[in-house]
Structure 1
Amino acid sequence: MKITTEVLRDLAEPANVAVHSNRELAGDVSVAAAEDDKQREEKELDRLRRKPGLRPVAAKDLDRLTQLTPWDVLHSFGRAITLARRGAGRGLAEHWGCLKYNQALAGSSDSFMSLSAEGRETADYYKALQSGELGTGFALALATRLLSRRYPSHFVSIVPADTALRAGWALTSRDSGPKSGYRYRPQFFAEVWRPGAPSRVFPIACKGNHSGLSASHTQLASASAHVEAVHIGAWDETQCLLFSTELPLDGPLTVHALETGGEGGWLDAPGRFLDHALEDGNVYPGIQPPAQGDQPTETEPGYHVSPDLYAWFQHALARAATAGLTAFAGDTRATAQYLTKRQGQRHFTGFTHAATDSVQDARHRFFGTDFVGTDHVFRLNRKRVEAFSGVAEDLFRHLEEGRVEQYRREIYARRSSWPCDTWAPRWNGPISLHPDGSVLAMRLLRN
């Protein structure tokens, strides 16, 4: 068993992450999709619509070798699940779930990242859970880097797809409004934006496995159905990103990535004032294919953001992203104001189960900037450690008072100025700072 200080140092150590994306991968995924379609037909299941034209990500946009720290991956995962509402915590402290993987990854600057001994042992019992959650962290960290490289004058925000879509559509039988009856959806949206300009939205599907390359082929084939469920603008013009992270028990992990082409996804209608509250809408589900001559076409299952919904959807994305950030900082009141009823506003008000609460009452200073947020104390290899998640205080005050427009202007202006350090000396522990102003840090507590 490693001593706690070694674990903390390992979390801050950059390691190489192998990224696999080529024409052979795209071809193998197409074969896996065709085989799945054949099996579905034999079982008399409904036809599954998949995103056509899967292609590799250009090497100039996504290097074959990328360096990440395990702590940055966990930060990306923690930020992604703040509004997940998967447990008794009601979404309020969901992000602390990322900490269960603080000993799952190993690697160094001259090696590839892989599962540690603990990660391999956990995989024996919780394969689907661990691979899926770590796969989400790697996929979103890489997607953010990829899109930031392609759009250097823009900011990249990651938004849970279910939260954003629930503002307009009834996703499940528990939601009010016309039911979609369609279970395929991307897990996330990446919004690429800058103040006062149209933004572009990329549906993202991400999966993970401990099984091997063939499992990734199957997962990417499945992911092609998930991203196809959302069209923004014209039919099949929405560009999408697909990831499957392979976490083998006896070698380095590999992120398999594909994308689709398309000129759509732009929200180019006059924007709304983002400080205003958003109300639940009732958009009728279905995607309208283009007409074939004079013959009318029936709608396909899914979610269609048509031009008349562009401004509304941009509004929904911005406020969902903001809600995730205030939840990460542990502020219930601030989070509730950014969500609609159907998005789970009530989960951030009222009664919370014991040991699942999160309170915005902690303050720390990193690299000359004050951060406010929430903390979590637990034992790591028998030693007490403290984890802190929060937001730069000046930015948080904007969010607390509902000033979304001002917050976005400021993070856009500061997007390239945040420190890149992975260890905070005075704090004496690993740290991850993201351009949205969020921080995740951990340290050993002295008795």
Structure 2
Amino acid sequence: MRKLTENILTDLAKPWHVQVHSTRALAGAVADAAAKDNKLRRAEGRDVPRRKTGLTAIPASDTGLSFRVTPWEVLHALGRALVLGRQGAGRGLAEHWGSLKYCQALEGSSGQYMSLSPEGLNPRRHYKTVQSSELGKGFALVLAERLVRKQYPGHAVSVIDADIALQAGWALVGKDVQDRDGVRLRPDFLLEAWKPGEPSKIVPVACRGTHGKTPYVHTQLAGAAAQVEAFHVGPWDKTPSLIISSEVLGQGGVIINALQARGDSALHVEPGDPTADADTELRDENIYPEVQLPPEKGEDKPHRGNGFQVLPEHYAWFRRAAARAGAAGIMAFTGGGNPTAQYLTKRQGREYFEGFVHSGTGIVQDAEQVIRGTRFLGTDHVFRLNGTRVEAFSGVAEELFLLLAEGKVEQYRRKAHALRAKWLSDRGARDWDGPVSLREDGSVMAMRLL
């Protein structure tokens, strides 16, 4: 059993190719699926959603036909995505450990492409939807981060739960919702490309996953186009967007289907504007959920539609909201309760995290590890993998952790950006016997035999 577990840990750290499919034919098929859905909705008397216009194939120079990634990196991306979702009973302390259930779900095929393992191919029927959805998020975010990083060289990229960021300005659930139809559609994530001294750029992402046949991908992407259309920075239809659907049962391995819309979503803020300072506590705003649309045919005046629009007068506020939501996600990944809560508003779920103090902010750390030459503070999880005890650790580099624990987001960003090259140079260190994934936000996820 121990040897089997060792082999699993070794396989988690092996890079495999993941196929990327983004063509004009895919864009055309998605447009046809959207038109078919619109026709059906009209026949049934249902509302027809707005969908993102200008969706095109991503240039092969940006994606290639495939890219290499380890299963462990995919699980790290998924863990970071789940950490503020409040979907389980972890009470904000260990939501991300849900990604570990996929430790044996992915493997490499003889053709060097990543695919589902026999274990991944045999989930219970009701579980397949959850598996494809969650793994779809992991693969989508790995690709989306690479694309945004290439589009904005020299920038760090933060993955932000869209619900968390938007809740600070718009009520999405509960009795405070002003217009339920207006907030129903929204992206899954916002990617923030940031660099100290430059405006942040926001890219909404909608991602799906499927075990089904390829035509279902077109339907999924047509739905995702409505999700990203609901969010705009500045004028209508100028915001870059990504829609992604991952086929986890694709022939020859995992296939990521993706389309993009180009644009400019920079949050231009006056230097020294105190309302943009991410160190300042955020309070819930009450912005009405609407988007300013151009005049319809035959009309002179613009009209309004459902959705979320960050107008120039809110750029500074949203820059602060995005940065603090990102900080909350990082601290939650370390297992911290109150250190996470300090970055959230009441609507964002501050009370959910309050009262669970991470001992790393006191005298004794909850868990600490030296990995690849860097000391990390965080939390660990011990469980049995095929009967053998293993230890999983998630944390943040100590110097970055202490800054965020003290509420110093701006200083954290300057330090984290300066350390981006260090994470790459430290990859050769051999002080951890197991899979390791280190992200440029300073977070790490690692596992080894106990």
TM-score (norm 1): 0.94
1:213 shift after superposition: 1.2
Moved more, 188-197 or 146-155: 146-155
Alpha-carbon separation, structure 2, partners of 1:325 and 1:153: 21
1:274 and 2:278 are equivalent in the alignment = yes
1:199 shift after superposition: 1.3
1:323 shift after superposition: 0.3
Secondary structure of the residue aligned to 2:303 is: coil
1:356 matched residue in structure 2 = none
Alpha-carbon separation, structure 2, partners of 1:351 and 1:361: 12
Deviations 1:42-89 (A, max 9, x none): 111111110112100111111211000000000001011111011222
Cα gap change, 1:331 to 1:63, in 2 (>3 Å): same
Alpha-carbon separation, structure 1, partners of 2:355 and 2:307: 34
1:337 shift after superposition: 0.4
Cα gap change, 1:180 to 1:200, in 2 (>3 Å): farther
2:168 matched residue in structure 1 = 167
* Cα root mean square deviation, aligned: 2.0
2:327 matched residue in structure 1 = 322
Secondary structure of the residue aligned to 2:62 is: coil
Alpha-carbon separation, structure 2, partners of 1:23 and 1:294: 33
One of 342, 348, 354 as aligned partner of 1:349: 354
Alpha-carbon separation, structure 1, partners of 2:386 and 2:426: 25
Deviations 1:146-166 (A, max 9, x none): 111221121111100000000
Secondary structure of the residue aligned to 2:32 is: helix
1:15 matched residue in structure 2 = 16
Secondary structure of the residue aligned to 1:252 is: coil
Alpha-carbon separation, structure 1, partners of 2:129 and 2:157: 28
Cα gap change, 1:13 to 1:424, in 2 (>3 Å): farther
Deviations 1:190-232 (A, max 9, x none): 1111112111110000000001211111110110000001111
2:74 matched residue in structure 1 = 73
**What number of residue pairs does the alignment pair up?**
437
One of 428, 432, 447 as aligned partner of 1:442: 447
Which letter does structure 1 place at the counterpart of 2:10?
Answer: R
1:288 and 2:292 are equivalent in the alignment = yes
1:177 shift after superposition: 5.7
1:380 and 2:385 are equivalent in the alignment = yes
Moved more, 7-16 or 191-200: 191-200
One of 304, 307, 315 as aligned partner of 1:299: 304
Alpha-carbon separation, structure 1, partners of 2:338 and 2:356: 13
Alpha-carbon separation, structure 2, partners of 1:290 and 1:301: 13
Alpha-carbon separation, structure 2, partners of 1:128 and 1:279: 36
Q: How does 1:93-172 map to 2 (within 5 A)?
A: 93-107=94-108, 111-122=112-123, 124-172=125-173
8 Å CA contact 1:336–1:349 kept in 2: the answer is: yes
TM-score (norm 2): 0.93
1:37 shift after superposition: 0.8
1:371 matched residue in structure 2 = 376
1:269 shift after superposition: 2.2
8 Å CA contact 2:202–2:266 kept in 1: the answer is: yes
Secondary structure of the residue aligned to 2:157 is: strand
8 Å CA contact 1:421–1:431 kept in 2: the answer is: no
Alpha-carbon separation, structure 1, partners of 2:429 and 2:138: 22
Deviations 1:226-261 (A, max 9, x none): 000111101111110010000117641100010012
1:334 and 2:339 are equivalent in the alignment = yes
1:355 matched residue in structure 2 = none
8 Å CA contact 1:375–1:386 kept in 2: the answer is: yes
Alpha-carbon separation, structure 2, partners of 1:110 and 1:424: 29
1:418 matched residue in structure 2 = 423
8 Å CA contact 1:422–1:430 kept in 2: the answer is: no
Cα gap change, 1:157 to 1:222, in 2 (>3 Å): same
Cα gap change, 1:371 to 1:118, in 2 (>3 Å): same
Alpha-carbon separation, structure 2, partners of 1:145 and 1:14: 16
1:201 matched residue in structure 2 = 202
Secondary structure of the residue aligned to 1:396 is: helix
Alpha-carbon separation, structure 2, partners of 1:301 and 1:360: 46
